[in-house]
Amino acid sequence: MPEYVYPPVIKTAQCVFKALNIKVRLEGADRIPRTGGAVLVSNHVSYLDFIFAGVAAHPAKRLVRFMAKKEIFDSRIGGPLMRGMHHIPVDRDAGASSYAASLRALKAGEIVGVFAEATISRSFTVKEFKNGAVRMAVGGKVPLVPVALWGPQRMWTKGRKRRLLQRNVPVTILIGEPLHPKRGDDYDQITRDLHAQMQAMLEKAQREYPVTPKAGEAWWQPAYLGGTAPTPEEAEKLDLAEAEARKAAREDES
């Protein structure tokens, strides 16, 4: 398919990285398939994760088609960009069509990007997720490639002001060993294995990160490392309260 939008977006991002002196550490790039389909599964710590998860595939000269909520495609500005980059809309009320679209992309040899946690993790640990990514890999007969991101949360994450022009922010991107699930496997067990692998990768990225929080900045560090981010239990309660508030707002509108 013609690529009129994606390459210029990548070039723009690279220019921004250079201007802001964003140092990207990319490890495991050789684990991205050079050809054929794959499901790229990333953790989710910021609103910028699709940019950096996409960077994981650049050395292989691949483009990632991310699955993203339909509301972004409905945006007057974001919508044309998302469609131009051939990303895949996810309508929670019509999940089957999103799944079918992802399988078509995989069978056409595309890399499909998935944030399996669905929402940003406030605790900066890997939230529990369902087996959808595994089922996609099996359905498309493609490998499952785990990715861990760390650093973008300092620029823009849930519950914090955007600091998109912040300079000198290191970003770590770790790519793990691919999994090769097949029909007949225990999808839930593979999902648990994937989750454990991604959590171990994230902890590695966090422990090896070259910067520690300054005074008053511990919010971007997970609690287990002494930061003030919510614990997973506290984050779950916050997510539940947010979901209930959204539900109440929709009911009021109707």
Q: How do residues 161-194 score in pLDDT, each as one tens digit?
A: 999 999 999 999 999 999 999 999 999 999 999 9
For 37-80, write each residue's pLDDT tens digit.
999 999 999 999 999 999 999 999 999 999 999 999 999 989 99
Say whether pLDDT at 254 is over 80. Answer: no
- pLDDT given at position 21: 98
- Strand-pairing partners, residue 144, are 39, 179
- Residue 45 tokens read as 């710590």
Show Cβ contacts of residue 157 under 8 Å, excluding neighbours closer than 6 positions: 45, 46, 47, 120, 220
- pLDDT given at position 31: 98
Show Cβ contacts of residue 87 under 8 Å, excluding neighbours closer than 6 positions: 65, 66, 67, 68, 73
**Per-residue CA distances from 235 to 42, 75, 216 (Å):** 19, 28, 20
Q: Is the dihedral of CA 212, 215, 217, 222 positive or negative?
A: positive
- pLDDT given at position 8: 96
Q: 253: pLDDT confidence band, cut at 50, 70 and 90?
A: confident
For 105-162, write each residue's pLDDT tens digit.
999 999 999 999 999 999 999 999 999 999 999 999 999 999 999 999 999 999 999 9
Q: Say if residues 124 and 45 touch (Cβ distance below 8 Å).
A: yes
Local structure of 64: helix, strand or coil = strand
Provide the angle, in degrees to the nearest 10, between the axes of the packed helices 132-140 and 95-107.
40
- Give the CATH number of domain 6-228: 3.40.1130.10
Q: Give the other-Cβ count within 10 Å of 9's Cβ.
A: 14
- Whose tokens are 């989750």? That residue is 195
Q: Give the other-Cβ count within 10 Å of 138's Cβ.
A: 20
Q: Which of 172, 120, 122 is nearest to 147 (CA)?
A: 172
For 73-112, write each residue's pLDDT tens digit.
999 989 999 999 999 999 877 778 999 999 999 999 999 9
Question: From its phi and psi, is residue 178 left (phi > 0), alpha (psi between -120 and 50) or beta?
Answer: beta
Say whether pLDDT at 1 is over 80. Answer: no
- pLDDT given at position 250: 81
- pLDDT given at position 92: 74
Q: 247: pLDDT confidence band, cut at 50, 70 and 90?
A: confident
